[in-house]
Amino acid sequence: MPQAIIFDVEATDKKDAIIIEAASLDVISLNPLEVGSPWVQRYNPGKPISLGALATHHIMDEELVDCPPSSSFKLPAGTKYIIGHSIDFDWEAIGSPEVKRICTLALARSLWPELDSHTQSALLYHFERAAARDQLRNAHSALADVWICSKIAGQIIEKLKPASLDALWEMSEKARIPAIMPFGKHKGELISQLPLDYKRWALRLDNITGYLRKALEA
């Protein structure tokens, strides 16, 4: 049973997402990264897929009629870590289970801040320019996306050389704490330099993330 999987879902929408496809790769070894046991499954969400989501993943409602219900999805037994690009979306879509999330998007942004884009596709062009176009032809199917994510994770691990999955998770947690204020009248400014009264005001908001809260409290 894997302790960690590279994981991705396609869903009905960005908001109140219900999974319609899930895919994973088992992490066999960490440093260097070795993955295997590719798995993919489609699900019937019981509600229409939004046009915006359909335009992204091209999975049509009528293709899911005979698939198992989305509510039947379960992570593999023994999974302690899920690795993915902007992994919170996938985690929330499967019901926010008790696992540790390792975000390749946050880690890539912290390691290569000079890049103008940190999407999976952009990063693949950065790391494997000659082969990227062919590999991206099926991007936004969940199985294609976990393979692409594994390549990005491999580059991250090669650079950071974490001693364990927990060390990689701790690096991800640190990378997810923002340095720049993402909204409001001080948007784009360093959080460390915000006025104290503004930080106190922001901390009273109900909709800030736990990572932004940590940055404001530091």
Residues 6 or more apart in contact with residue 48 via CB below 8 angstroms: 12, 61
DSSP for 52-86, written as a single string:
HHHHHH---GGGGTTSPBGGG--PPTT--EEEETT
pLDDT at 117 over 90: yes
- Could you give the CA distance from residue 193 to residue 176 in angstroms, rounded to a whole number? 19
- Could you give the CA distance from residue 199 to residue 217 in angstroms, rounded to a whole number? 8
pLDDT at 2 over 80: no
Cα separation values, 111 from 19, 85, 164, Å: 30, 14, 18
Domain ranges of the chain: 4-176, 177-218
DSSP for residue 139: B
Instruction: Read off the pLDDT of residues 38-56 as tens digits, 9 standing for 90 and up.
Output: 999 999 999 999 999 988 8
The residue type found at 63 is E
pLDDT given at position 218: 87
Contact 116, 164 (CB under 8 A): no
- The pTM for the full model equals 0.89
State the fold for domain 4-176: Nucleotidyltransferase; domain 5 (3.30.420)
Token reading at 86: 């902007």
